[in-house]
Amino acid sequence: MARATVVLALALCGVSALIAPSQLPATRSAKTARNTAVNMVFGRTKDSRKSFIPAVSTEALKPGSAVSAICSGLDICIAVDTDGSVYALGNKSPVLGTPMALGPVKAGKIKDPLTGTTFSLKTGEVVGKWCPNFPFSFLFQLIEPAGLPVFKAKTGGGSVQVEVDINAKTNFESGYWKGILDAQGKADGGYY
């Protein structure tokens, strides 16, 4: 009897995998879906709200180099081209997550110091060969090239300001469970 139940359960699992998602009943209406940048999280999320946040002092910038900054919980690379133009990009290399702020900046491009991949400062797209440095050229040849996120940047008042979604960190962290076994403690800041 138990063996027949297991076989039946396995057969039902196999059949349910063949049902197209469009044939399944909808559990949420379009009215309840939130229009946020982070839409695959649990808990409450806030609407996307972009604002210019001070990142670094203009005194810390030198042509042909980059510095890192944290803006509303996002790791940002502030790059200054050799002509003095200021750009803001994501600070993590899409290949290994190495800081882009360690890479050289020249002629509208920034180079990942580890893999050798070059990215456009204006668009964040890969320029040239993907992961040209050995052994990365061999190890990551099957990974599809990915660019860096680009942010609007402006200078003024002695600092560089970067336009970021100030609710991005809150929306990302809303996916974390807060319950009795949560190492972060209670949602109100207390501990169990």
Q: Band of the pLDDT at 179, cuts 50, 70, 90?
A: low
* Bridge-based pairing state of the strands 65-71 and 50-57: unpaired
Please identify which residue in the block is written with the tokens 């052994």: 135
Identify the weakest region by mean pLDDT among 29-33, 104-108, 150-154, 170-174.
Answer: 29-33
Q: What is the pLDDT of residue 44?
A: 65
Torsion of CA 30, 34, 35, 39, to 10 degrees: -110
- DSSP assignment letter at 42: S
User: How many CB atoms lie under 10 A from the CB of residue 32?
Assistant: 7
pLDDT of residue 177: 58
Higher-confidence residue of 52 and 41: namely 52
In tens, the pLDDT along 85-112 reads 999 999 999 988 999 999 999 999 999 9
* pTM to 2 decimal places: 0.67
Question: What would the pLDDT profile of 150-167 be if each residue is shown by its tens digit?
Answer: 999 999 989 999 999 988
Task: Say which residue, 85 or 168, is predicted with more confidence.
Answer: 85
**Confidence check: pLDDT of 182 > 70:** no
CB atoms within 10 A of CB 144: 7
Across the chain, what does the average pLDDT equal? Answer: 77
Residue 29, Cβ density class (10 Å: 0-12 exposed, 13-18 middle, ≥19 buried): exposed
